[in-house]
Amino acid sequence: MLHTPVLLEEVNSACPDNCNLIIDGTLWHWWHSFHLASKTSHLIWMDIDPNMLSIAQKNLQALVNPQSKITYINDSYSNIDSITKQYGKADFILLDLWVNMDHFKIWDRWFSINYNSMLDMRFDQEQNLSAYDIVNKYSAQQLEKIFVEYADFTPIKSREIAENIVQTRKKSEIQTTFDFKKVLWECGLGKSAITVIFQSIRIQTNNEIQNLKTFLDKLPDILSSWWVCCIITFHSIEDRVVKKAFQQLASTKRFDLVNKKAIKPTYIEVQKNKASRSSLLRIISKI
């Protein structure tokens, strides 16, 4: 599996020429940044996963003009204000919130439901909380909340799944991917529903929604007097967070929703890249 950038043409068109500083907060999707490099004198590439950052850096060194000023930073985009304090406010910021396809090939970190491995799912291997901790230590109420908020399951079904997890782990720990899949199969879930439950655990493990909200709270203060921000989401929970934040900024009359509705990939793009079908792009700029 190769990661194919979604909505590449739309992102590239939204980025102004001759930017002083562009920040890509999710470098593991490095093809977007490769195409943006020619539009700026300084490009900052961030990634919370040091392994993905290293891979991207190796690939990009052979492709990007060696005279381009590029700064690689191993950190979460939620800490972007510390970057702009050091390097100045950005003219263009991109977040592509989909998981890198390379993550699904890392069998020992439980990003794919197809490999039997110990429960992990951490982007940052230095953090303490893992998927194992959530599945084996969270209360039924905490698990139910995750499935309602991050998987869009009904409270009744979420409670059933959560209670089944708790009862199963009383007998023995849920240690591996296939252990967890078995519990979910017993709740009557099919492959698609199991994938969504896995996704919700990944979101909780990496604090993804809160990181996004933190970034959006900081957005007005980290961009220059003329700026654009593009965010690509891949599920309704993320998109609702971005949509609400952008609408609140637009209501101040100091910001403009470049696209009133989220931009979706074309039919042709979806046919070429099935993974793009759920992607949504929202763009906001300063007036």
Contact 131, 110 (CB under 8 A): yes
Contact 113, 195 (CB under 8 A): yes
pLDDT at residue 112, rounded to an integer: 62
pLDDT at residue 107, rounded to an integer: 46
Q: What whole-number distance in Å separates Cα of residue 253 and Cα of residue 25?
A: 26
Q: Where in the chain is the domain with CATH 1.10.150.170?
A: 125-205
pLDDT at residue 197, rounded to an integer: 96
Q: What is the side-by-side order of every strand in the sheet holding 255-257?
A: 69-74, 42-47, 22-24, 90-96, 223-233, 280-286, 255-257
**Residues whose CB is less than 8 angstroms from the CB of residue 12 and which lie 6 or more positions away in sequence, other chains included:** 32, 35, 36
pLDDT digits (tens, 9 = 90+) for 136-152: 999 999 999 999 999 99
**Residues whose CB is less than 8 angstroms from the CB of residue 203 and which lie 6 or more positions away in sequence, other chains included:** 146, 150, 209, 237
pLDDT at residue 65, rounded to an integer: 62
pLDDT digits (tens, 9 = 90+) for 24-74: 998 766 678 778 888 888 999 898 888 878 877 877 776 666 556 889 999
Q: Is the pLDDT of residue 3 over 50?
A: yes
Contact 91, 21 (CB under 8 A): yes
- Helix (H) or strand (E) segment spanning residue 96: strand 90-96
Q: In the chain, which residue ranges form alpha helices assigned H by DSSP? A: 8-14, 31-36, 50-61, 80-87, 131-137, 140-151, 155-171, 177-185, 191-205, 208-222, 236-250, 267-272
DSSP 235: S
Cα distances (Å, whole numbers) of residue 59 to 184, 228, 241: 39, 27, 32
Name the token pair of 191. Answer: 């492959």
Q: Where in the chain is the domain with CATH 3.40.50.150?
A: 8-102+210-286
Across the range 193-199, mean pLDDT stands at 93
Q: What whole-number distance in Å separates Cα of residue 22 and Cα of residue 209?
A: 23
Average pLDDT, the chain: 89
pLDDT digits (tens, 9 = 90+) for 220-278: 999 888 799 999 999 999 999 999 999 999 999 989 999 989 999 999 999 988 878 89
The yes or no reply on domain 125-205 and CATH 1.10.150.170 is yes
22 falls in which pLDDT band (50, 70, 90)? very high
Name the token pair of 281. Answer: 């792009």
pLDDT at residue 1, rounded to an integer: 43
pLDDT digits (tens, 9 = 90+) for 248-263: 999 999 899 999 899 9
The yes or no reply on domain 8-102+210-286 and CATH 3.40.50.150 is yes
pLDDT at residue 118, rounded to an integer: 86
